[in-house]
Amino acid sequence: MTRLLTGAIAFILLLAMVAAWAADLLSGEVWAEPPVELAASYSIPVTVTSQLPVENVPLDPLVDFDKVLAAINATGVLDPNSIEVREMGTGRVVAHSLGDGFGVSNRGRVQWVAARPDQKAYEIRFRTAAVRPVLQPRRFTPLVGVGDLVSYNAGVPRPVTMRFPARLVDLTGDGRLDLVGTLPHYYSPGGKLGGIVCIPQVVAKAHGELEFGEMVRLRYKQSAGDDQSRHFMGPYLVADVVDVNRDGRPDVIYTTTSKTTRFQPDRSIHKFVHVFLNSGRRDAGGMPEFVFDRKFPLPSDPAAADSEGHWWGPVRVVDLDGDGALDLVVGRMFSDQDDLVRDPRCYFLKNTNPRGWPMRLAREVVIDCGCRACFLDVDGDGRRDAVGLILDPDAQTPYRGNLVTWRKNLGGKTPRFGPPRRFPGSPLKHSTFLAAVDTPRRRGLLLNDKRTHSVRFLELLGPSGQRDIRLRSRVIASRSADVVAGDQASPFPCDWDGDGDWDLVVGGGNGWPTVILNEGTDRRPRFALPRQIPSDGRPIRIFMSQVFPGIRGYFHDMGYPFPSYVDWDGDKLPDLMLPNITNRVFWYRNVGTRADPKFGPRQQVLVDGYPETSQTLKETARRLGAGSGKWNKRMLDPASPFGWRARAGFGDFNGDGLVDMVHADGRTRHSGGYAEAYALFVQYRDGEGQLRLRRDRVITHPDGKPLKCPGYITSQAIAADWDRDGLLDLICHWGPTNTKCQPMFVRNIGTRTEPRFDHPRPLSLWGRPLYNLMKHGPYWAVHDIDGDGRPDLLAGCAYGNYAFYRRTAMDMPSRPTFQIGTARMLSQ
């Protein structure tokens, strides 16, 4: 009897343990992958077979772990989270990162840095599992220097980026809601142009906080028998992720613009909504395998923007009329946010199949539901209300100046919606895209933030009614999040606060310069969140209609400040210099201290012979279209010596102790509207000792020809002693045919007091030129990032994320070569 009682108690305890584990899986702070029975540890020897010329050379052998395991008839699959790199001989564990390939397969580059040139023998250790785990967030991601992205490495979750969030939905099959959405441009150098991505949720905490892991791209096959996986293409694309065929698995619905036809063979791709069904199979990275099933024609209108007469997004798959069948709703991007209005119209395509699948879509009907609307039952009456954007009447500029509001669903076979209503509490500002989350466990809204491209989940707490709508805001974050600072945020690495390590001062398309403080060290940086920079108590911001009068509603009312942090006024404190989208240059005097910079009011950099008055500003505004509403950009403007949307370089080029400037020359103009040549502007003191600036000359090559700006992209001139000979060289974009943003080294072959410049030479990584990395940018920066005395290169990408290129790899003519040996089992 005692044995039976003991056995019963043990069985009850076992059930309790299983129940507790299950409860933790759903609500406790545990990692997503449960323990697996099949596990073994292995080691692969890796030998560098080429010469390493100096210390701190990046290594990145390409390892196919499936082939490695097959060669020794091993069972199981790679657990990528277990990979570890060790030095042979010393046994020292070396910090490493993983290339993008491990997001979708078991083949990719394992990346680390060789501390010494004679350290050539390594081993890569790893474990296997019965089922391929998804990538977990890394506690620390080293800066390797092969175009890898800079991570926060803060030790706590930091915001992730998603330009167009789509859903919170379980794609990994672990019961947690993953973030799915789209990226309209290149996310990292040399990557794919746009795409649909998933950031898996990896931790669910007891109090409801959400923590996510590594970004993974979703892929598809054109047919069930296709053996090739393809990426969803952009540049501009949107998606929804819904179980359209009611088989219990989330599917993908995707639309894009006509611009995508330039990058793949389907010339009609922008005319349709494309449906990809979840096959139930998973790729090697653990993501579902999607297979193309069918497509539906998009609503068309000759006035549709950017897509040759076809509206394309947002696309929402939702039972909008409450009949049990999923319908289709398509928005009117990008013309829905032009000038001073927000277009509240969407197209409703009713699903007339009472069984729901396959969809039979009726002809589109225009509904007034709000700009870029999504649909969620906000007031708890059982009908899905519309949540969308309206113009923020208090916005500094109407361009992307939005408020999130909701409209009550009034019912009807064709749904009707009431007037916009604000959510309670603080206004929901700074969003340009939103999506509904409507699951049994969580309901609410995903909102992007135009300032930083971060995403937050606005959870709707029930019960609710029209007078009792309760919301809780949660930032979507990951411990391995990349540093992201906003739209095309050009970087300037510097010691902002005088503590001896490098920080980042960055710009951004929407006009706010920010500072990202390094709370770690040069060798092991740890970054704080981006922080806006105040002047006289208010955040600094620059945009077109703020500078030029009479152009409110300007069609591209952005800022693009290109910050530098240099001592402009010679008082031993670095000041904030802000060239920008306009053809004026502004600066902010540092009135604080070296450790605690503070900034006075905005001042304009004026050049001899170019006085600024209200009349000159009005004249430039007139050229832009003030008074006519017919907007222009980048015109030849005799009121300014500077070119439009140009990044300037600052340094003492003539040895007089004063900071000078290299800028695009406003006296010249390429057919694309940008300035055609670079010019040197030098500071001097007049007879009364006052600092003044004069245009010195157009910069020329030894043959007397001008140093050309690129014809169709932002010009950049960065002053840096690249070859360490004591003279300031230039790292710049060079043209006019260089439209791929390739950085060029223009060596100073003159003297300390009389600079002269050689012909440009392209900068490379392991002998391969750094070009065609992305559409917008990169915005280059030069700084000794790794503290070895050599200037390195930082590339600011389209989202305000940053790729690092180590100088040792840039100076080598080719990539190191490797011999990868046969794996051996360590334990089981």
Task: Provide CB contacts within 8 A for 538, sequence distance 6+.
Answer: none
Q: Which residues pair with 252 in a beta bridge?
A: 241, 276
CB-CB contact of 126 with 239 (8 Å): no
Do 499 and 473 sit in the same domain of this protein? no
CA distance 537 to 231: 46
Do 179 and 86 sit in the same domain of this protein? no
Decide if 310 is inside a domain.
yes
Tokens of 214: 């590594």
pLDDT at 69: 97
The angle formed by the CA atoms of residues 542, 544 and 545, to the nearest 5 degrees, is: 105
Do 644 and 736 sit in the same domain of this protein? yes
Q: What are phi and psi of 3, to 5 degrees?
A: -65, -40
The count of domains in the chain is 4
pLDDT at 11: 40
- Hey, is 188 helix, strand or coil? coil
Task: Provide CB contacts within 8 A for 290, sequence distance 6+.
Answer: 218, 219, 220, 221, 251, 252, 276, 277, 278, 279
Tokens of 762: 């392209």
* CATH value at residue 791: 2.115.10
Do 557 and 464 sit in the same domain of this protein? no
Structural domain including 686 reads 491-805
Q: Which helix (H) or strand (E) holds 617?
A: helix 614-624
- Hey, is 50 helix, strand or coil? coil
Beta strands 792-796 and 93-94 are unpaired
Task: Provide CB contacts within 8 A for 216, sequence distance 6+.
Answer: 103, 104, 134, 135, 197, 198, 199, 200, 285, 286, 287
Decide if 157 is inside a domain.
no
How many Cβ atoms from other residues are within 10 Å of residue 155's Cβ?
A: 12
CB-CB contact of 88 with 120 (8 Å): no
Q: Which helix (H) or strand (E) holds 180?
A: strand 178-186
Decide if 150 is inside a domain.
no
pLDDT at 622: 97
pLDDT at 737: 62
Do 126 and 229 sit in the same domain of this protein? no
Segments of the chain scoring below 70 in pLDDT = 1-38, 204-208, 303-308, 338, 463-467, 735-740, 772, 774-775
Q: Which helix (H) or strand (E) holds 614?
A: helix 614-624
pLDDT tens profile 326-383: 999 999 998 887 677 899 999 999 999 999 999 999 999 999 999 999 999 999 999 9
Closest listed residue to residue 297, CA positions, set 325, 270, 332, 321: 270
Do 599 and 462 sit in the same domain of this protein? no
Closest listed residue to residue 588, CA positions, set 541, 535, 537, 547: 535
Do 352 and 270 sit in the same domain of this protein? yes
Q: Which amino acid is at 267?
A: R
Decide if 745 is inside a domain.
yes
Decide if 486 is inside a domain.
no
Given 421, 446, 478, the domain boundary residue is 478
Do 313 and 402 sit in the same domain of this protein? yes
**Cα(first)–Cα(last) distance of the chain, in Å?**
39
Do 500 and 577 sit in the same domain of this protein? yes
Extended strands (E) in 222-259: 230-231, 237-242, 251-256
How many Cβ atoms from other residues are within 10 Å of residue 365's Cβ?
A: 14
Tokens of 484: 């992201």
Q: What is the pTM of this model?
A: 0.92
CB-CB contact of 494 with 503 (8 Å): yes
Do 238 and 128 sit in the same domain of this protein? no
Given 118, 145, 172, the domain boundary residue is 145
Decide if 495 is inside a domain.
yes
Four-residue CA torsion sign, 614, 620, 624, 626 = positive
CB-CB contact of 169 with 210 (8 Å): no
- Hey, is 12 helix, strand or coil? helix
Decide if 5 is inside a domain.
yes
CB-CB contact of 681 with 662 (8 Å): yes
DSSP structural state of residue 120:
-
Decide if 483 is inside a domain.
no
CA distance 141 to 525: 10
Do 168 and 127 sit in the same domain of this protein? no
Do 570 and 707 sit in the same domain of this protein? yes
- Percentage of the residues of the chain whose pLDDT score is greater than 90: 79
Q: Contacts for 22-26 with beta carbons within 8 Å, 24 or more apart?
A: 25/174, 25/175, 26/175, 26/204
Q: Which helix (H) or strand (E) holds 492?
A: strand 491-494
* CATH value at residue 92: 2.60.40
pLDDT at 272: 96
CA distance 680 to 658: 13
CB-CB contact of 655 with 682 (8 Å): no
